[in-house]
Copies of this chain bind each other. A is one copy, B any other.
Amino acid sequence: MAGLTINEAAVTTGWSPRMLRYVESAGLIEPQRSAAGYRLYGPEELQRLRTLRELLEGHGIGLGDVGFALRLRRDTDLRDAVEAWFEAEVTRPADIPDSAWLRWEQEKHQRLLAALSD
């Protein structure tokens, strides 16, 4: 067979077989499969499993975090949306000064309160 089976991979990487399946379900490491469906871990997968462990422990992050980072780099829409949110400036007519804008918000608030107390 052209690769280690899941138990062998577990021994050489330090992950449990259960976790190897879990890591796979997170889309992080997806080994080849034999004709019968057995997972076959090649050198690259084994190496990445080892460094994944270091990555998580070294920075106190979780599998879900790396999974999200993966989504970020695959889903352009998502990446752009997140990026846009971080960089968002106030997009509001420049001719309304903060003070007026706040006053309007506060009045809206009071209208809401008034409506509630009916």
Contact = CB atoms under 8 A, between A and B. Distances in A.
Copies of this subunit = 2
A39 B2 CA distance: 61
A58 interface: yes
Given A102-B4, A108-B12, A90 B47 contact: yes
A55 interface: yes
A112 to B, nearest CB: 6
B4 A90 contact: no
B106 A4 contact: yes
Interface in A54-80: 55, 58-59, 61, 64-66, 68-70, 72-73, 75, 77-78
Interface of A: 2-4, 8, 11-12, 42-44, 46-48, 51-52, 55, 58-59, 61, 64-66, 68-70, 72-73, 75, 77-78, 81-82, 85-86, 88-92, 98, 101-102, 105-106, 108-109, 112
Given A11-B109, A58-B81, 11 more contacts: A12-B109, A43-B90, A43-B101, A52-B85, A55-B85, A59-B75, A59-B77, A59-B78, A66-B85, A69-B82, A73-B86
